[in-house]
Amino acid sequence: MENLVFTTFSDEKNATDGLKKIQELDQIGDITIYNIALVKKNSDNKLIILHHEGPDIADLPAEGAIAGSLIGLLAGPVGMAIGMLTGVMAGAADEDEAGDVTQQVLDKAGIQLAAGNFAIIMDVQEDTTFLIDSYMAPLKGHTVHSPIADEYDQNASEQWEQLNTEIDEAEKEFKTALSKDKADLKANIDALKEKRDKLKKQTKEKASKKKKQWQDKIRTLETKISHAKDKTGEKLKKQHEKLLADLDDYNEAVAYAFD
């Protein structure tokens, strides 16, 4: 399962040790990290990125406080989580279902990262939540997990099918309607088609972004596979195959938006 995982620490040593433990789990193939960041919250309510790996925030500076002017560089679940912790995502034009996922994590954890505290934020493939939790607990890390699901895409597909059905029914009714009723029926059909066109445009935009993130994850896995050995490599190869198959399924599911 791909999860957004968020662990908070009150001191730097435990946070740094926690990051090392997470990286060890990734290196032996027990988990697969797609994106990860270690951050600290300053007294002026800004985050300092102490470490980051992965395409989500690859364009951000290696070190330095994140400001609202960098909002356009935040992408993906990890970037969204960082943005929400700084408050720069509030009301942003790019806020979408990824924001809903990260907000659920923050709400679930009751997280209000205090000044001087640290957090590890990661987009990770894990078979069980127990593994990371068992490594973070001795370091006094508070950890929450939230699935990165495709709920938006499923909902959009259902809306697309429903709108097509409504349009078909409205057009059939239009053909047999009395002349005095045709104007209202035509207006209803036009409104439904406009709504469908808008949904198609939104789905295409979101799907294009998601496909890029998916391809970034595939490349991340391919790099890990090239350096892995024995059982770790075999485990990663199976995950790589599944990721490719999932991408094929996703492409098929949103194909209507690219016609």
CB 39 within 8 A of CB 15: no
pLDDT at 77: 58
Report the pLDDT value the prediction gives residue 21, as an integer from 0 to 100: 95
Structure tokens at 167: 């349009």
User: Of 196, 101, 210, which is closest to residue 156 (Cα–Cα)?
Assistant: 196
Contact by Cβ (8 Å): 20, 134? no
Answer yes or no: is pLDDT of 182 > 70. yes
- Nearest in space to 136 (alpha carbons), one of 19, 245, 216: 19
Both tokens of residue 140?
A: 């006094």
Q: Give me the pLDDT at residue 71, please.
A: 37
- Confidence bin at 84 (pLDDT 50/70/90): low
Pick the range with the lowest mean pLDDT from 127-141, 151-165, 176-190: 151-165
Residues 99 and 142 sit within 8 Å (Cβ to Cβ): no
pLDDT category at 65 given cuts 50, 70, 90 is: very low
Please report, as a single letter, which amino acid is at residue 204: K
Question: Per-residue pLDDT averaged across 189-205, rounded?
Answer: 91
Question: pLDDT category, 92, cuts 50, 70, 90?
Answer: very low
Predicted confidence (pLDDT) per residue in 42-61, tens digit: 777 677 778 888 765 555 55
Residues in the chain: 259
pLDDT for 83: 57
Task: Compute φ and ψ for 60, nearest 5 degrees.
Answer: -80, 155
Which letter does DSSP use for residue 34 in this model? E
Backbone dihedral region of 255: left (phi > 0), alpha (psi from -120 to 50 degrees) or beta? alpha
* Phi, psi values for residue 110, rounded to 5°: 65, 35
Domain ranges of the chain: 2-149, 152-258
